[in-house]
Every structure is written in C-alpha cells, then in structure tokens.
Amino acid sequence: MKQSRLLRTSLACALVALATAACAQSGSVQTAASTPRASSAAAPVGVSAPVRIEQGLVQGTAGKVQGVTVFKGIPFAAPPVGDLRWKLPQPAASWEGVRDGSRFGDVCMQNPAPQRFPPNGATDSENFTGMSEDCLNLNIWTPAKQAGEKLPVMVWLYGGAYNEGGGNAPFSEGDHLAAKGVVMVTFNYRVGPFGFFSHPELTAEGGGAAGNQALGDAIAVFRWLKDNVEQFGGDPNNITLFGESAGAAMNAGLVGAAGARGTFERAIAQSGGWMGLGIATMTPNHVPGATLPDTPPPAPAPGGPGGFGNMPPSAELRGLANARQIGAPTLAQLRALPAEEVQQKLRGHGMIIDGKIITEDLSITFENGRQNPVDVLVGSNEDEGSFAGGPPTTAEAWRNGAAQRWGEFAELGLAAYPAATDEEAQAQAPQPFSDTLAWHMRLFAEQQAKIGKGSWLYFFTHDPLYDEGRPDLGAAHTGEIPYVFNNLCAPRTFPGGSSVEKMCGNPREEAFADQVSQYFVNFARTGNPNGSGLPAWPATRELGPNEVMVLDADGSGKGPWIGEAKDRLYRAMYEARVARPLGIVSSGN
C-alpha cells in the first residue's frame, strides 16, 4: 500500500511539475535487405493478405469491432540503443518475409505502477508484451478494405507527465474510432530520461541542438505515415494529431515547432499546451556563458520534470549535473549504462527549446504567427485539479497563502477566488490548477484563429460515474478520454478513474461518448467538428469573451467559461511571467 501511494504521488507531483515548468519485436528477423517503395495501387487491406509497406510485408489481424483490422508493433525507426541512445530517430530496417502484426511491441523504459489506481496502462495491462529501449513501434486500426481509400488519419500521443505511457494502453485502442471511418494510429515515444534528456556533449553532437527526443519520435511517425499510411487506406495529406496532458503539450509544441512543418494537417490538444499545464516560459537547452556552480546541487527528486534544485537555466547543464551526481559525467559513460540504471538514476527535463525542432520559446512563435498553419481543436476539463488532494484548507489559510500562490497578483487572485468560509476555501483550492489550464487552452485556440486557421475550443464539464469507495473527482484530468475513444468498457488512465462497471453499456454515457468521439472524427475528416445530429459547435472566433463550447451529457453547446475575474488574473500573470520577459508586446488574447 505504501508503494502504491508513492507511485501515485510521484506521477501526481510530475503532473504538477508539468504545470509549473515548461522493444522486443514480433515477426520476422530484420535484415538490411532493401524493399521497393510501397505501391499506391488498390491492394486489399484486411486479414486475408499482408500489406506491403516500404520496409516489407506485414500481416494484420481482426480488431475487436467487426470490419476493423489492426496491425500492431510495426517499427517506424531503428532501435535507439548504443550510440543511438538520445539521438533523433533513424530509419527502420527492412525485413524479409511477412511480419506478424498481431502483438503489440515493447513499450519504452518507464516505471510500472501496478498498485496505483488506475495503474500504468502501458506496463500493467494484458496488452503488455515487454519493455526495453527497442520500443519505437506503432499500431494501426483501419476499416479500409483496400489501399487508397483516403480516410482521415488520427494519431494519438499519450500523456503521463513525460514519464510513462505507451501505444498499447487498453483505453486508447482504436477500434471504435476506426469504425467511424478513420485510420487510427498509436505509437510509442521515448519518455523520462530517454525522451527528454540533454547534455553538453549531446548538444555538440547535434550541431548545437539536443533534447526533445520524444518530439523527434513523433515527427518520425508522421513522416512514416506520409510514406505508408495510404497502404492502410489512409490519406497521407490528412493527418490529425490528438493527445492529452503531456501528449497535448507535445501536440501544441509540434504545432509551434519549425522542425515539424508539413508533417501533419490538424491537431487536437486535450488539457495541455506549449507552456505545459500552466503559465511559464520554456527552458532552453543551451544558455551562452552558463556554467555549473562549484558546489553541485542535490540530486533531482524522482517524479519527472523539475526537481533540479538551484541550477543554471539550461537543460544541458541540468543533464550534466545529474550525470556527475551518478558518477557518469561523459556521454560515452552514460551510453554504456544499462537501460535500467538510466531509468533509475537520470531525470528527464520535459519539452524544451532544443534548437532544432523547437527553435525559440513558443510563446514568441505563436504571438508572431510563425506557428504551423494547421487547424486546431483544444480544450480542458472543469475539474482538472481534483486529483491533487492535499490537507484541508481554511479560509484564513487561503487568504494568508495568496501571496505565495499568486505573488504580486494576490489581490487579483482573492478577487477571482473569494472564500469567506472554510468550506468555500476547500472548494476553491483545486480550481486555480483547472482554470490556469483553461486559460492556456483558450490562448492556444485564439492564437491559431488569429492566423486564419480553423479553431475550436471546448470545456468538458460532464461528471462521469465513479465506483463506491472511490473519490468523486468530477470532470477530472483524463476524465474525457473514455468518451473521446468511445471506449467506456476499457480500463481507465490515471488520475481520472471513473467506473468501468457503471459506464460500460450505460445508455446515457454511451450516447455521450458517441457524441464526443463523433465531434473528434468530424474534425479529423474536415477540420470542422460539426455534423448531422450533433449540437452546434461555434468556432473560436464566434465565441464571446466568456463563452466556450461546453461538452456535457446534460446538453452540449455554447455556455459560460471561467469568468472575467479569473481571465483578468491569468492575463496579468501571463503578461508578467511570460510576455514581458520574452519581449512580447501583446498577449494576443
């Protein structure tokens, strides 16, 4: 039980840190043999015959929904091991014969959490087949009967505070989305110290750029799909990213990333933006002239981004300090470490200004309209902060903690979150986390609308059902995911542990899941979530300053947002903590 609490607290702390800071393969043995470029002819797609892609032949298997075929564990890049550890992904090798696509590949190195509720879906489920650095593989669910059907493609980027997750998680299986007429893709990206790590020698090796290996993995997937997804019935020119929490932050980062230009057409961000889950500047990989202090800081605490102590503001020096602390200061020594030791002793730094994929603080990019010209659908949940818990809060403690909470904006904060009684203070305590995120998502939507792209903003207020004995977290962080995937019967992902038993087959919940998933599929198909039989979803430019598209089983439609007082608070915080330090004249909001 103690281990369960520690694992749960570790990921919760990593999520909070994200808010305050920016595989053994199945099938044939790979060989170096070359394979002809995949033909665009209308070859069959299904279980009757293998599909030819650029690397070779792969055999799919029947999905869980009739008419859907799934292809699992397809490598999209070379194993990032040995000298390739921490490098951007390299091309995958070809194979001879027919590759078996009936089993998921290994997930990337991370910490299992079998006693946590919900557990780690990547490592602690029936879909788990192994864990290793050889993990860069993807999975495809398709309803297509032949190549070239030009179906929209949806690509899922999982959350997990940059520290856990995998394309094999049961909650993200794509059968039900595929059945609505899309080619659905999940994949593994490197997490923790394998996917978000830098070091001065890596910077030199990368020609002045390092870190964000996970973003490089994602871009490699998008390029792989451009070359191969037509063989599965997908349209290589209609790729939509969607992701939640850290996955949403990565999606926003990719929308802003110069290194991702032209690799996708649309993006959905669920509860995460380029600033993470809060309002902050991004950490640079390299700061000219910065050095480590003479006295090394204490080792970073477990749990993800942050926890580096009083260190210079560069990711490469944080990595160097961590490397020195474990007695492996050089890149050669770090690459010689067993993967398990890297996982235990090094800490990832999250998404940064790496110098190649992301070349400047993305708040500057978005303010100046330099982001990628793609349509977006973004939003957050009403009770994002409900999972954090904490000791009871009194009205006096709430007032006395205002300066620590909001700094020079304590007066604005208390005006936005008044609490005359202990009960009111307790109710207000988790709201700033939720509302900060809601404000960030609106900024994202409005910045994309400003450059003339399709932009759609939502606020998920629906309260799912919870089992007796479990806390009622309301519309919690990750709470929308079962509805987005139309997977109410699948296990949940941390922290929004709603009830599978009460929701699976529940007519009201199933109808709402059908609605939400249809909105997402429509957006992937056309760039507009609206469609026959659905409540009208106004575009961002059609919303008033305190209006938003509310998603709720009691009635989706235009509704109230977080309110003027909270908007004023977070606008002021953004101007002081992000815009002015970066030289941004206007927030554009």
Alpha helices in 429-586 (DSSP H): 431-450, 481-484, 500-503, 507-526, 564-574, 580-582
Of 302, 279, 278, the C-alpha closest to 477 is 278
Residue 63 dihedral angles phi and psi, to the nearest 5°: -80, -175
Active-site residue (options: 384, 446, 480, 509): 384
Active-site residue (options: 176, 286, 349, 477): 477
Contacts for 392-397: CB closer than 8 Å, 24+ residues apart: 392/422, 392/426, 393/422, 393/425, 393/426, 393/428, 393/429, 394/422, 394/425, 395/419, 395/420, 395/421, 395/422, 395/424, 395/425, 397/425
Of 361, 364, 356, 363, the C-alpha closest to 258 is 356
Sheet with 51-53, strands from edge to edge, namely 51-53, 56-59, 98-100
Rounded Cα distance between 292 and 200, Å, is 12
Instruction: Burial-class residue 402 by CB neighbours within 10 Å (0-12, 13-18, 19+).
Output: middle
- The enclosing H or E element of 19 equals helix 2-20
Alpha helices in 476-506 (DSSP H): 481-484, 500-503
Active-site residue (options: 26, 172, 245, 587): 245
Rounded Cα distance between 447 and 442, Å, is 8
269, 283, 367, 553 from 259: Cα distances, Å: 19, 18, 18, 39
Rounded Cα distance between 363 and 274, Å, is 8
384 carries an active-site annotation: yes
Of 263, 260, 431, the C-alpha closest to 351 is 260
Active site residues: 245, 384, 477
